[in-house]
Structure 1
Amino acid sequence: MGLLIKFSLFLTFLVIPLWASVPSYENLKAAPKGLVKDYYIYRFAKENRASKAQLKKLRTQIYRYQGSIKTLFDKKLGVIKQKVTDCSKYNLSNIHKANATCQNMLLSISFMNSLKPEQRSALAKRLKNTNSKFYNFVQGFSKDDPLGYYIKIGDTTGYFKHYFSAQDKDKFLNTHKLSSLLIVNSINHWQFKTIIQESVIGKKNDEFRRSLLKVNPDKLSGDMAFLFGLNAILFHQEDKAVKFFEVAAMKSKFASNKDNANFWIYLITKNKNLLKEIANSADINIYSLYAREFSSNEKIKIAVPKPATKELLKYDYTDPFTWQRTREKVANMPSSELISYASRFYTQSTLGEYSYIMQKAHNYKIHFFPMPFMEHIGTDDIKRQALILALARQESRFVPSAISTSYALGMMQFMPFLAVDIAAKLGISKFDIDDMFKPQIAYKFANFHLDYLEKYLYNPIFIAYAYNGGIGFTKRMLLRGDLFSRKSEYSKYEPFLSMDLVPYAESRVYAKKVLANYIIYLAVLGKSTKISHFLNNTLIPELSDGFRDKISF
């Protein structure tokens, strides 16, 4: 792999947390709205020093009222009462004049069952005259089997009203076989997408999933076609799977998703021309890297910026408000100005910001693999260095002051509770969770956490699952027995099938990206390794983890 890497650009070129860094109430009020302000509002409220009046005012300024901040404020101030649409003026006689919200609220299954046949018939006529989407739902109650009627004509309203009222939803899905028309009409329904994903990824609801096999692939979106393809694989319907994956590849918006779908077609058909196409992908992902092992000698073009200037003057890279202002400025900046603006960040301390802006300037067609703050990485071991860099690139793009929607902090994106725990174990006094914005702390904590994870996990893929989703999640997944197994009935597709069936969606994507990063950084650091080595080892417990029973070779 070392010969495949071409550096094409810029190579010359118990502790208790303190809260001292939390802005005052007045400063918080004046701070710009966004995730950074939310994070500090959360900290300010959590200290219990804020008055209710202050909290009420701050709640009106929260940018993203979800997750932990919502839980905290709901506890302190009570749940915000949602505005409920007033439908009290509508009844059987005038419900056809109501808006869709009130019609949906009033036209329940129990309400329809309470009506006499002549009342239902009259109501259906009025709804038909007003082009109400609930016409078929009401009309269905004149049939011997309303649900069967909805399935036959593809009426999503009636079908989902019955689904939501079912006590045992899995039984409902498996009992009532779907028509192709209903499936196609339901594709954009948020709940139906969730049902399909949970059923396919969880390998459950067999009868429901079997009905998906008869759908015309051309009617599906790219992401749905990919799920339908996986479903066909699980039923050993390879010919149908190919057709679904072809649509997924054609309609995918991202090169990585297209490569994923095409790789599945290659696994099924062994068409080496597809492997060459994937190998020449503009994207760097596990599929293009794997394909390169067998079908390409072309060097991978990446950018490894190495500026001589140490830091950007008058720019505090540890201040999350500073990064928020920078990111917002970049978001609204014309493409023609981005490269010039990025050049001011071409320093050792702002490599993350520089790479972020440059990738946007080049429409993400140039892949930047910066290696900032290597003086703080805390280890001489090349594999550990590559793993830390691979994780950081995916976690934060090496922006020291990055904050996620769940308030994970810094380059290595530690959750506050984990950061506090590690600080205690390391014996760091006067620790403040904002210290995670310091690169030397981020790397130090990453090394400590990886030391723990590597006691149980030896493969970077599994380590990535644990870093993102938790070691408990990873252990449960591996001990299921049906994933990453050489004894699987789908062994000829492993580990790729298991990697697409990881139950936690974020971790499923995350580990693939980290592995691709890891391969590149290993090569950059002079320790080239084939990606197939790590992929194959996932199937061998002796080489990949300490949770599963060992299997003799």
Structure 2
Amino acid sequence: MESLVRFCLLAISFATFLGANVLSFEELKHSPKGLAKDYYIYRYLNETKPKKSEAKELRSTIYRYSGSLKKKIEEIAGAIKEPKLDCSGVSLANVVDANSTCQKAVISIKFLETMSKEDRDKLARDIYQSSPDLSNFIIGFDQSNPVKYYIDTNDTISYLKYYNLSSDKEKFLTDNNISNGFLAKLAPNWQFKTLINDIVINQKYDEFRKYLVKVDEKSVEGDMAFLFGLNALLLNSDDDALRFFRQSASTATFISKKDNANFWVYLITKDKKILKEISKSSDINIYSLYAKEFSGGGKIKIVVPRPHIETLLNYDYTDPFVWQKTREKVQNMSKEELLKFGVKFFTQNTVGEYSYMMERAHNYKLHFYPMPFMEHIGSDDVKRQALILALARQESRFVPSAISSSYALGMMQFMPFLANHIGKKELKIQNFDQDDMFKPEIAYKFANHHLDYLEKYLTNPVFIAYAYNGGIGFTKRMLQKGDLFSQNSKYKKYEPFLSMELVPYAESRNYAKKVLSNYIIYLATLNSSTKISQFFESLMIPGDGEKFRLNAQN
């Protein structure tokens, strides 16, 4: 829930809140390095008046020097003055003698344009040994079609450099179709992955997308092959989509992604053998749950730990430093060590930590669905209970003192500014401090309060999950745009599954799938009979309380 934002908070920046749990400078100096320390350093910098010298000293002890903490440190202590490579003296006369870093910084298309062809040829020869890629970039510059040259020479670096410099990127892609061999080399590059994701999800550059439909599926793997499959579907080429989805399934690095790709194979072919195969998956996801429902694939194998001992002696489960130390300790443990160490955490208050360790010990082939602190769940409604548990499992694995890299707090992972706003302004909790989010009873209370707000506009748990993770503003814009989860969709035979793949924010897209599978499991665990297919069906039909979707269709 790191990007969770409510309408009324969209314009609010991180504010200063005077709190009772700010550690002193001396305490921070001697605290162990990690996310917990980073969080408390951030509190100290924001909620006290630190000296410049203190900020500088604390900076050297930071675990993750980035984001809001880096910005705050630099406001007080100034930016770290890193030695900069001075390439200002590099010119046509001495570029050959410059180091490779300066050569890469200086040699651009504009730089090459100032040189004669003879000088460019000489430069390419002279730097070949130290910078073969840069040498090839220069050689390509003098070709009648530089981009074709880069494709023919398998030079992905120069190809992407030319793409990034292109003023008409659609024309660049359309005029320079890539070979299957070059595509295979280009596909693992993160820049190209980002490009293809943008093109497919946002349905841009139609002519280039039509070209991608016809490439050899063996030139792409895993996630990239999946994107190519989606692209083919969107262009009404189901047979080509099938090629890519089969390739994605056979090359997927995670079982969940293999199930996802195979599910699309089933949707296209209607081959129930594929559904039967997915139903036997060792992973629990929306596709394996759906497959079990429709193929009689057997019972779902989960573990619902129910410890009788209340608490672990001498272990403060609400202290982030305690969890930080524990988590670091188990990172490199063997299975045997994890089983031996983890069993002592089999208590009601540390069942989240216990489940975390047991899943690691069993290489995530055993799936734990704890239900801790139910006395604080705050609702008698089984659906609300299941939703809170589903969100908490995804957010924190029920570790009360969890802190994310962006300082989302506790089991329900509320950002500090939102926690303070809700605690002080909305719930008016006396003497509220954001560290109270590490208390399970407070975490569940805030979850109920926020879900009450979200359910004024949304009813389906999938949409609520999108809003919980990406923000209600993001969810509103997506639904009111009218092209996803709409009864007017051009791709009705593949809905709502296609809309679920086209949610523009990738983190929220995957998050909602996981929350829905958690939700189905927890409903069953709480003895509420339900079918996942019912939730898929309701995704296409606005409920009475879904104001965003109803407004979009009126």
1:283 and 1:311 map into 2 onto residues whose CA distance is 31
| TM superposition shift of 1:90 | 5.1
- Indicate the residue corresponding to 2:271 in structure 1: 271
Asked if residue 440 in structure 1 is aligned to residue 441 in structure 2, the reply is yes
Gaps of 5+ in 2: 1-14
Give deviations 1:347-374, integer Å, cap 9, x for gaps. Answer: 1011100100111111111111000000
SS of aligned partner of 2:549: coil
SS of aligned partner of 2:132: coil
Aligned ranges for residues 345-360 of structure 1 at < 5 Å? 345-360=345-360
The alignment-based identity, stated in percent, is 59
| TM superposition shift of 1:107 | 1.4
Q: Normalized against structure 2, the TM-score is what?
A: 0.93
1:285 and 1:401 map into 2 onto residues whose CA distance is 27
| TM superposition shift of 1:289 | 0.5
- Indicate the residue corresponding to 1:289 in structure 2: 289
Do the aligned residues in 2 keep the contact of 1:213 with 1:232 (CA within 8 Å)?
A: yes
Aligned ranges for residues 40-189 of structure 1 at < 5 Å? 40-87=40-87, 91-92=91-92, 95-96=95-96, 99-128=99-128, 132-170=132-170, 172-174=172-174, 176-189=176-189
Give deviations 1:248-286, integer Å, cap 9, x for gaps. Answer: 111212111110000011111111100001011101100
Aligned ranges for residues 206-245 of structure 1 at < 5 Å? 206-245=206-245
| TM superposition shift of 1:328 | 0.7
2:544 and 2:230 map into 1 onto residues whose CA distance is 27
SS of aligned partner of 1:364: coil
2:292 and 2:385 map into 1 onto residues whose CA distance is 24
Do the aligned residues in 2 keep the contact of 1:16 with 1:420 (CA within 8 Å)?
A: no
Distance 1:335 1:527, change over 3 A: same
| TM superposition shift of 1:145 | 2.9
| TM superposition shift of 1:133 | 1.2
Distance 1:227 1:99, change over 3 A: farther
Q: Normalized against structure 1, the TM-score is what?
A: 0.93
1:546 and 1:354 map into 2 onto residues whose CA distance is 41
- What letter corresponds to residue 512 of structure 1 in structure 2? K
1:389 and 1:512 map into 2 onto residues whose CA distance is 15
Distance 1:170 1:28, change over 3 A: farther
Do the aligned residues in 1 keep the contact of 2:302 with 2:368 (CA within 8 Å)?
A: yes
Do the aligned residues in 2 keep the contact of 1:147 with 1:162 (CA within 8 Å)?
A: yes
Distance 1:342 1:507, change over 3 A: same
- What letter corresponds to residue 242 of structure 1 in structure 2? L
- Indicate the residue corresponding to 2:406 in structure 1: 406
Asked if residue 542 in structure 1 is aligned to residue 543 in structure 2, the reply is yes
- Indicate the residue corresponding to 1:323 in structure 2: 323
SS of aligned partner of 1:344: helix
- What letter corresponds to residue 391 of structure 1 in structure 2? L
Asked if residue 477 in structure 1 is aligned to residue 517 in structure 2, the reply is no
Distance 1:421 1:131, change over 3 A: closer
- What letter corresponds to residue 500 of structure 2 in structure 1? M
Do the aligned residues in 2 keep the contact of 1:177 with 1:207 (CA within 8 Å)?
A: no
| TM superposition shift of 1:85 | 3.0
| TM superposition shift of 1:93 | 5.7
Asked if residue 250 in structure 1 is aligned to residue 254 in structure 2, the reply is no
1:458 and 1:266 map into 2 onto residues whose CA distance is 29
1:23 and 1:145 map into 2 onto residues whose CA distance is 62
SS of aligned partner of 1:303: coil
Question: Cα RMSD over matched residues?
Answer: 2.1
Asked if residue 338 in structure 1 is aligned to residue 338 in structure 2, the reply is yes
- Indicate the residue corresponding to 1:6 in structure 2: none
- Indicate the residue corresponding to 1:4 in structure 2: none
2:144 and 2:171 map into 1 onto residues whose CA distance is 21
- Indicate the residue corresponding to 1:195 in structure 2: 195
Asked if residue 314 in structure 1 is aligned to residue 319 in structure 2, the reply is no
Do the aligned residues in 1 keep the contact of 2:318 with 2:438 (CA within 8 Å)?
A: yes
Do the aligned residues in 2 keep the contact of 1:479 with 1:548 (CA within 8 Å)?
A: yes
SS of aligned partner of 2:301: strand
| TM superposition shift of 1:83 | 3.8
| TM superposition shift of 1:157 | 2.8
Distance 1:362 1:158, change over 3 A: closer
